[in-house]
Structure 1
Amino acid sequence: MRALVLCCLVFIIQGCKSLPEEQAVQVGARPYYLIDNMPDGPLKQQLAACGNGPFYKTDFVIGHRGAPMQFPEHSKESYLAAARMGAGVLECDVAFTKDKQLVCRHSQCDLHTTTNILSIPELAAKCSQPFTPAKDGQPAQAKCCTSDITQAEFLTLKAKMDGANPNAKTVAEYLQGTPNWRTDLYANSGTVMTHQQSITLFKELGVKMTPELKSPAVSMPFDGFSQQDYAQKLLDEYQALGVNSQDVYPQSFNLNDVKYWLNNHPEFANNSIYLDGRDEQAHFNAMDETSWQPSMQALYDDGVRIIAPPMWMLLSLDQSGKIVPSLYATKAKQAGLNIITWSLERSGPLNNGGGYYYQSIAPVIKQDGQMMTVIDVLAKQVGVMAIFSDWPATLTYYASCMQYPASEN
């Protein structure tokens, strides 16, 4: 309470911007809930002892689409929330519009589930697939892409929580599909953003930036706009706005995009991230390194320095059921690759194995508090350089308490 009063007095006299940036970080109630929910033991005791902070902004924490556990993803409001929670890096997933302008959207064709486009007749009419109500056992459907509309039209949209009701008979029903462990409380007027707008905002917030070049959902080249044009335009917008290349971590699941940046923009080379989605390939086996093509060493030899797999690929269980680094994690480190992973706080309650992101350790995942144990293994044993999170405060609490990475605090 004393600190809050002091902040208010300082705000009246000088404005809160004069406070040290680390004291402005707010973690809220969730980290405390998770710690209370942890199994008893030394880690729980150590984390509980940090309850009074201080908490610091850290590059260990990446705001995955902002803070979409409660705010519409890629909205200005989501980004502001993530920054307040201590995220030192914020993500804009990059897609392009009909007039080949870059905007923040997780998928080129998700406007029907992440915005109000279907409720605007003149824009809904431009969607690749108009809304079709559920009928005769067939789910309700729609498909609206950024490439269906211009950037100016995109900016008239409002962001909403990602979700759709497959049983909907009307557009209004279709738009009400938010998972029950998220909330629509802050989802009435989310502000969508262009890529350039996100850069300007992130500069104002004093955070680093990690744009992801999303896979096009249309044939390329698109009206003369090639994949290389797309990859180049992403970097051009940082350079045009005077952002230091060391503050930008461009990422892509497409290895050819990463190689394009490595070969044509050496100033971004050490920060370019290869998002590893090879688990979607039929032959992939996380426990068989011969199925990882290209190999870890081949990636390093091609110039890749950061690899980013989903969390489950970095974790395994030993014979006693203890969570330990996986073979994948060990081999990536041996090859000299730095590791970033995704995505914490995206699974909902961890009371039945945790779903996709915890699949390699599902037998021991029984309660939400074990999220802190997973973070601890990823940080101290795997040695990840950063973690994407849908609710950055959880990671901020951990990193501030453990002073991880040590060089930041």
Structure 2
Amino acid sequence: MHLLAIASVSALVALTSALPAPAPAPTYYSPGRQPQSNLNVQLGPRPYYLVNDMDEGPLKDKLVSCKETPKKSSQFSIGHRGAPLQFPEHSNQSYHAAARTGAGVIECDVAFTSDRELVCRHSQCDLHYTTNILAIPELAAKCTTPFTPANGTSPATANCCTSDITLAEFKTLCAKMEAFNPQALNVSQYLGGTPSWRTDLYNYQCATLMSHKESIALIDSWGLDFTPELKEPSVEMPFQGNYTQADYAQQLIDEYKEAGIDPSRVWPQSFVPEDVFYWIENEPDFGRQAVYLDERVDTAAGYVEAVASLPDLAARGVKIMAPAIFALLNVSADGTSIVPSTYADAAAEAGLDIITWSLERSGPYRMAAEMENYYYASVAPVINNDGDVFTVVDVLAQQVGVLGIFSDWPATVTYYANCFGL
């Protein structure tokens, strides 16, 4: 029996050695892993302006020391809708700006057209204030709600959705800065309203809208990574009677598979937990980097619920949570500094990674301070200038330990990431 066992083992070893070696496991996110891009990254003046505006101290000294060093793309820097601080969001031009300013990951918010093609739009029904659709009569006539001018007691209204038109029709539109004039008496006035702290400088020509497939090809051409967000439909599902939410979630993944994109480069996102669970269960290679965008934190009761749920979400296979910036930060007990929040601590205890959004989405500090500042609400008492954006980034990076930060102007996060080797 002993000799037989030895012979059997020998045969098994011989058979095993003849088999091809197993494929290596995919390399997923690890701090410091850089996208495979050879882009000549150019940050422009804004990060340097913000560094100069900082309060004196060790963090400013560190960031000043990095002013003249070459910069490269970083996964820590995520282009939120491209680079919409200055370029029309989700346009070809906005994606180019995000790539050039060092975003290692670029977002396409995904919606669908009437012929069930996936396109990059922040909302399924935002065409009336992010494109020129209202200025094209034959397409404006297809809008869910036609334009109605302001009348002195009610604001101007319109509602135009990607699902109102085909992909071919969508591609005839021009992207514009996200804005509208609620007091408009005509379409031309309605299409204005760009905030003074943004710009129409790069909006004078027709900015090119992108299908999801086109965004994949473009971002891949730079060797950068992808973070598509499956937008919650604004129409009843199943759409047209048989296009289900699962079909929609699967189609998003299928377009990366068809393009030959390695799952390690894709970070699919959704505010809808069922979408995240679908990817985890049905597309595990992509699901392991699925991002649960957590807006439950917007209310006090929802925040408590969200914190309590984190261990259960981790047990279900969720690995990355993404609340807004304010949910991860608090003011210290002595009221002098920014510290990680209860949510941040609970996520770490549950073994969850964190991505957050969206830096520089608000206007300049002096303007934003006059209104409710969603993104920095929890730390407003200790923010007093625009340069404090780097203090926020530093706490998120060094104390909370986020994997990456969405920004409307990626150059700022790219600057920090390069200075700190992220």
TM-score when normalising by structure 2: 0.88
**Partners of 1:292 and 1:176 in 2: CA distance:** 38
What residue number does 1:347 align with? Answer: 362
**Partners of 2:37 and 2:246 in 1: CA distance:** 38
What are the ranges of 5 or more consecutive residues in structure 2 without an aligned counterpart?
1-35
Letter aligned with residue 320 of structure 2: I
What residue number does 1:182 align with? Answer: 198
Alignment check: 8 A CA contact 2:37 2:223 kept: no
**Partners of 1:293 and 1:346 in 2: CA distance:** 25
Question: Which is worse superposed, 394-403 or 293-302?
Answer: 293-302
**Partners of 1:23 and 1:80 in 2: CA distance:** 11
Query: Any residues of structure 2 matched to 1:322-337 within 5 Å, and which?
Result: 322-337=337-352
Identify the match of residue 292 of structure 1 among 270, 287, 306. Answer: 306
What residue number does 1:59 align with? Answer: 75
Find out whether 1:43 has 2:59 as its counterpart. Answer: yes
1:151-181 CA-to-partner distances (Å, cap 9, x unmatched) read 1000000000000000000100000011111
Identify the match of residue 110 of structure 1 among 90, 113, 126. Answer: 126
Alignment check: 8 A CA contact 1:276 1:307 kept: yes
Alignment check: 8 A CA contact 2:37 2:222 kept: no
Find out whether 1:379 has 2:393 as its counterpart. Answer: no
Query: Any residues of structure 2 matched to 1:392-403 within 5 Å, and which?
Result: 392-403=410-421
Change (3 A) 1:22 1:197: closer
Identify the match of residue 303 of structure 1 among 271, 294, 317. Answer: 317
State the secondary structure of the residue aligned to 1:212: strand
1:268-294 CA-to-partner distances (Å, cap 9, x unmatched) read 122110000112457324xxx4x3276
Question: Which is worse superposed, 377-386 or 348-357?
Answer: 348-357
Find out whether 1:212 has 2:229 as its counterpart. Answer: yes
**Partners of 1:293 and 1:358 in 2: CA distance:** 19
What residue number does 1:4 align with? Answer: none
What residue number does 2:173 align with? Answer: 157
1:93-146 CA-to-partner distances (Å, cap 9, x unmatched) read 000001111000000000000000000000000000100000032100100000
What residue number does 1:197 align with? Answer: 214
Alignment check: 8 A CA contact 2:143 2:161 kept: yes
What residue number does 1:356 align with? Answer: 374
State the secondary structure of the residue aligned to 1:169: coil
What residue number does 2:25 align with? Answer: none
What residue number does 2:268 align with? Answer: 250
What residue number does 2:117 align with? Answer: 101
Alignment check: 8 A CA contact 1:74 1:104 kept: yes
Alignment check: 8 A CA contact 1:23 1:55 kept: no
State the secondary structure of the residue aligned to 1:142: strand
**Partners of 2:314 and 2:300 in 1: CA distance:** 24
**Partners of 2:360 and 2:58 in 1: CA distance:** 23
Q: Deviation at 1:320?
A: 2.2
1:179-229 CA-to-partner distances (Å, cap 9, x unmatched) read 111001111311000000000001101100000000000000001100000
- Give the superposed CA RMSD: 1.3
Alignment check: 8 A CA contact 2:37 2:224 kept: no
Change (3 A) 1:93 1:294: farther
**Partners of 1:21 and 1:220 in 2: CA distance:** 39
Q: Deviation at 1:21?
A: 5.1
What residue number does 2:189 align with? Answer: 173
State the secondary structure of the residue aligned to 2:364: coil
Letter aligned with residue 365 of structure 1: I
**Partners of 1:128 and 1:301 in 2: CA distance:** 41
1:294-338 CA-to-partner distances (Å, cap 9, x unmatched) read 611001001000000000000001122210000110000110000
State the secondary structure of the residue aligned to 1:369: helix
**Partners of 2:378 and 2:61 in 1: CA distance:** 26
Letter aligned with residue 310 of structure 2: M
State the secondary structure of the residue aligned to 1:342: strand
Alignment check: 8 A CA contact 2:319 2:353 kept: yes
**Partners of 2:390 and 2:228 in 1: CA distance:** 27
State the secondary structure of the residue aligned to 1:373: helix
State the secondary structure of the residue aligned to 1:271: coil
**Partners of 1:221 and 1:27 in 2: CA distance:** 44
Alignment check: 8 A CA contact 1:98 1:150 kept: yes
What residue number does 2:282 align with? Answer: 264
TM-score when normalising by structure 1: 0.91
**Partners of 2:37 and 2:117 in 1: CA distance:** 34
Q: Percent identity?
A: 57
Letter aligned with residue 119 of structure 1: A
**Partners of 1:97 and 1:63 in 2: CA distance:** 24
**Partners of 2:46 and 2:306 in 1: CA distance:** 37
Alignment check: 8 A CA contact 1:251 1:273 kept: yes
Alignment check: 8 A CA contact 2:322 2:354 kept: yes
**Partners of 2:307 and 2:258 in 1: CA distance:** 36
**Partners of 1:375 and 1:22 in 2: CA distance:** 25
Alignment check: 8 A CA contact 1:22 1:55 kept: no
Letter aligned with residue 218 of structure 1: V
What are the ranges of 5 or more consecutive residues in structure 1 without an aligned counterpart?
1-19, 405-409
Change (3 A) 1:280 1:74: same
Moved over 4 A (4+): 20-23
